[in-house]
Amino acid sequence: MSQDIKRIRRTWAKAASDPVSMTRYFYTRLFEIAPDVEPLFKSDMDAQGQKLAETLAFVVDHIDDPETLLPAARDLAIRHVSYGAQAPHYDAVGAALLQTFQDLLGDAFTADDHGAWASAYGGLADHMIASAGYTKG
């Protein structure tokens, strides 16, 4: 197993130990970074947070299994088009996710951990943007 995958799984285990607090923190950061996305969230935010935590857990569990991960990410991206998601939102989500981990884990989220997550998220976001039919930029 690559060091990056180990880093992602280790930091996720720590961050996900309290998924309700983690996802509430994430959405607070997301709405600060990209206030234009807040109106896209019309449902119960605790339920939305649970979906986010489950999705991130799936990604972490399948990060070394692209045959499972990539089709699921494609389907998720296509669904998000109908919710109003746009290509630039992926950068905001990535920034909010990394900031959440940094703030919640502190020194336990190292520069190498940040790099592993940024790389993994970036690749997955690029796949999702392409799957949704957007062009990046």
Written in H, E and C, the secondary structure of 91-116 is HHHHHHHHHHHHHHHHHHCCHHHHHH
The tens place of each residue's pLDDT in the chain, 137 residues long, gives 599 999 999 999 999 999 999 999 999 999 999 999 999 988 889 999 999 999 999 999 999 999 999 999 999 999 999 999 999 999 999 999 999 999 999 999 999 999 999 999 999 999 999 999 886 55
